[in-house]
């Protein structure tokens, strides 16, 4: 596997693959890889001849009080895992390479509406940072297909809309959320949990499953069900950030169970913020 830190080497590598008539799949990550990331690599192999990942902790998507400095960086371990899953290359740029003029004067990409609620309302500027870095990486790698996890449901919807709006010739594939045996969605931030918090953490997905069962009956006030589910989280030891029953395409608040629904949730255990979702 090639470890690429230079844009010129990246473009030369991709150009050689393209000239050989090979189809390219891309998996962008922030590192600290786990089985959920590796499942994206495995799906990418099913879609293309060549698979390239990126590892970049993107400062543009972190708020001033968020965990940028403490975000786990495990490059050697990540590369070992990518080799085991037969990735062809990994691009590992620095912030100076990606934002040479600094964030204050960096051009950006922003997708309206889809980022207004959920994580967008509680993490100001987050999705602008995501869409900007993904656009830059897409421009550099120019893949035929890119794989993203459905755990970050809102992010996936925003990237799909961005690709459509900007006429990017890239197929976006959403890969189902990887979970531990007890249902907890795999996440790099799970490593922040204490043993006691880790034992409590599966209650987030269990609460979503409970809500799904209520919604599948087709009855009940949606806003009241949201509040009931939040209370279940509070009772389990969480501090809810949001829990929203939304229209699956627009991500706007749903008004009835006749719509295609998704429940999006974020909640804190101590200082660790966990997210999850469930389609109805």
Look at residue 180 and tell me if it is in a domain.
Answer: no
State pTM to two decimals.
Answer: 0.95
Task: Tell me which residue of 70, 84, 75, 35 sits closest to 54, measured CA to CA.
Answer: 75
Rounded-to-integer distance, Cα 115 and Cα 121, Å: 8
Active site positions, annotated: 37
The answer as to whether 181 is a domain residue is no
Answer whether residue 161 is part of any domain.
yes
Show which of 175, 207, 228 is a domain's final residue: 175
Looking at 175, 205, 228, which one is the last position of a domain?
A: 175
Question: Tens-digit pLDDT profile for the chain (280 aa)?
Answer: 999 999 999 999 999 999 999 999 999 999 999 999 999 999 999 999 999 999 999 999 998 878 798 889 999 999 999 999 999 999 999 999 999 999 999 999 999 999 888 998 888 889 999 999 999 999 999 999 999 999 999 999 999 999 999 999 999 999 999 999 999 999 999 999 999 999 999 999 999 999 999 999 887 799 999 999 999 999 999 999 999 999 999 999 999 998 999 999 999 999 999 999 999 9
What's the CATH number where 258 sits? 3.30.1300.10
Q: Are residues 109 and 219 in the same domain?
A: no
Contact at 8 Å (CB) between 66 and 123? yes
* pLDDT given for residue 66 in this prediction: 84
Q: Are residues 171 and 194 in the same domain?
A: no
**Do 212 and 238 share a structural domain?**
yes
The number of domains in the chain is 2
CATH of the domain at 43: 3.40.50.620
What range does the domain containing 171 cover? 2-175
From the number of C-beta atoms within 10 Å of its C-beta (0-12, 13-18, 19+), residue 275 rates as: buried
The predicted pLDDT at position 125 comes to: 87
Closest CA to 114 of 128, 101, 103, 104: 128
154 lies in the same domain as 32: yes
134 and 60, same structural domain?
A: yes
At 65 the pLDDT is 79
């Amino acid at each position: 596997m090639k470890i690429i830190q230079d844009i010129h080497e990246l473009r030369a590598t991709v150009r050689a693959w393209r000239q050989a008539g090979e189809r390219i799949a891309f998996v962008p990550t922030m590192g600290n890889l786990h089985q959920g990331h590796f499942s994206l690599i495995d799906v990418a192999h099913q879609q293309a001849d060549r698979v390239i990942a990126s590892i970049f902790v993107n400062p543009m998507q972190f708020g001033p009080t968020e965990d940028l400095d403490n975000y786990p960086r495990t490059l050697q371990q990540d590369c070992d895992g990518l080799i085991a899953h037969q990735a062809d290359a990994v691009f590992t740029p620095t912030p100076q390479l990606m934002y040479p003029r600094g964030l204050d004067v960096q051009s950006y990409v922003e997708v309206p509406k889809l980022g207004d609620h959920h994580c967008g309302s509680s993490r100001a500027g987050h999705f602008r940072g995501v869409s900007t870095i993904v656009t830059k990486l897409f421009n550099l790698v120019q893949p035929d297909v890119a794989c993203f996890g459905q755990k970050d449901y809102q992010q996936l919807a925003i990237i799909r809309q961005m690709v459509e709006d900007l006429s990017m010739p890239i197929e976006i594939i959403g890969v189902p959320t990887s979970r531990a045996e007890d249902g907890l969605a795999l996440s790099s931030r799970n490593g922040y949990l204490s043993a006691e918090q880790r034992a409590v953490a599966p209650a987030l997905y269990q609460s979503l499953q409970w809500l799904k069962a209520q919604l599948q009956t087709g009855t009940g006030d949606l806003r009241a069900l949201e509040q009931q589910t939040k209370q279940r989280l509070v009772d389990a030891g969480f501090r809810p950030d949001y829990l929203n029953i939304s229209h699956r395409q627009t991500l706007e608040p749903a008004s009835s169970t006749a719509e295609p629904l998704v429940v999006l949730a974020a909640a804190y255990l101590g200082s660790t913020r966990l997210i999850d979702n469930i389609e109805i």
